[in-house]
Structure formats: structure tokens, C-alpha cells
Amino acid sequence: MMFGHLFAGCDLTLSKPVQEISRITPRPVSIFHSKIDPYIPVENAYKLKSAYPQAEYWETNAKKHPESYNTDPKLYVEKVTDFFNRSLK
């Protein structure tokens, strides 16, 4: 939560991503999440995907929230690069 305040100037406890995600249509969305994230339950990612079915979804086995990259750096870069290459045309 402090990250959101420091870097985005907002209180992330007031944010409801599942309620807001549909407002960004038709923009492309890619959701990366760990099945075993100890901070943000994977169910939150499932809810986001359900609320925005056209979103891409990739699940990892990262042991900490921001560490999906560390589980398979090559695949992570591939997925991110592919997403941006398709989405920023």
C-alpha cells in the first residue's frame, strides 16, 4: 500500500481493480500472478480475469509477490515482449 502512495500518489486501499478493469475496454491487459503469492491471493487474479475475459493470464510459482520474473526469466521476458509487441501497434 505504501508503494502506491509513494509512487502513484494514491491510497491503494481505496482501489477496487475488479470493479474498474472493465472501464479500460478495449485496451489489452495481461495479468501475471503466482499461484502461491503469500501477499495477494491468486483468487484476486482469477476475479480480474473473470471481470475482463479478454485479458491474457499467466500463472507462475513465484514464492513472493513481485518475483514471477525470477521463476523463469527467459519465459517472462518472452511473454512481456510478445504482449507489448502485439498491443502497441
Angstrom distance (rounded) from CA 49 to CA 85: 21
Question: Each residue's pLDDT tens digit in the chain (89 positions)?
Answer: 445 555 556 666 777 888 888 888 899 999 999 999 998 899 999 999 999 999 999 999 999 878 899 999 999 999 999 999 999 98
| Domain parsing of the chain, residue ranges | 24-87
Would you call 86 exposed, middle or buried from its count of C-beta atoms within 10 A (0-12, 13-18, 19+)? exposed
pLDDT at 14: 73
pTM: 0.79
Give the pLDDT of residue 46.
Answer: 98
Task: Give the per-residue pLDDT at 9.
Answer: 60
Tell me the C-alpha distance between 7 and 5, whole Å: 6
